[in-house]
Chains A and B, each alone.
Chain A
């Protein structure tokens, strides 16, 4: 009798395994998991929750990432071994093959709108800050767009590097400075030299003679034309006066 009782008591003294509470919180969506991944950009720390990827940063150490995450996102963070499929998904995301889900809770609705709009910019293309502001319905909030992009918690994945100044200056980049921004854009196939030459001459749009459509210089549709059939415009009025209409895909102006 007594031995059975004592045995049963001991069964009640069992402790939960290490990390159990963290795993529960992660499952409930109260803590994010993170792991470090080798990518084409080098090692990147990536955090995710049930809703999707919540942060990504190039950091020197796990401690640095945890500190940054606590400051920027503020949720609890649990280091886990990376799930097998996530590495492939991240590689696909970075090479533009498909899109991940993102967890942007905790950001203001304005920032969320900016980041969602940024996700629409294709690999190999760039847009000015003012384009984002106009597209999300706050045409005057160009500076606020810049701030929202500077505080992008998921650089690389949400391609804030594809937003540049309309005067052709590539601008600063939260994910590692202007040089990294240029490097990533070249990697994605943007012809930086051409872009900057146009911007320095004051040209913001390119039109194609045969179609009478004008685009942003990196627009996918414009790129199919031969170099000699381009005409360049300083602004929308000039293009319209020449009988051109704005491209419906890159939307350099309201159609």
Chain B
């Protein structure tokens, strides 16, 4: 009988293991771009963002930007590791930026309503600054939080599979000791 051909043996495909360093670098670069725009175009950049919010498409823009960056980042990691994307990652990266964007939209509405209800000077300026801050925080959380959730889920899955592989070994060891 001939030996099985090694080329026909099924090679187990690796899944993408995400490390937070990858999205961290991207978010850091995005933050520096945001800082640059704030310092060198303090009026026009803020006005563009405030206009987007007044027209009601700031949240959608944040969702689209974060979703595209998340997808590009994940595919880049998968390509670099030559690994297979997983359903868990697709669910996480597809749903969390949308949820974060919606959550932030409610948060911003609350902050604006809170500002307008107070007897404070320069209300319009304050609202503009709140919108600017929420836009930045929305971009950061829309990219960083899905990868953080994915990382924690992957660690949880790895820990559980480790326990499952260890427990039969422990049972065999305890049975042989009797």
A-B complex is real:
no
Question: Interface of A with B (CB < 8 Å)?
Answer: none
B→A interface (CB under 8 Å): none
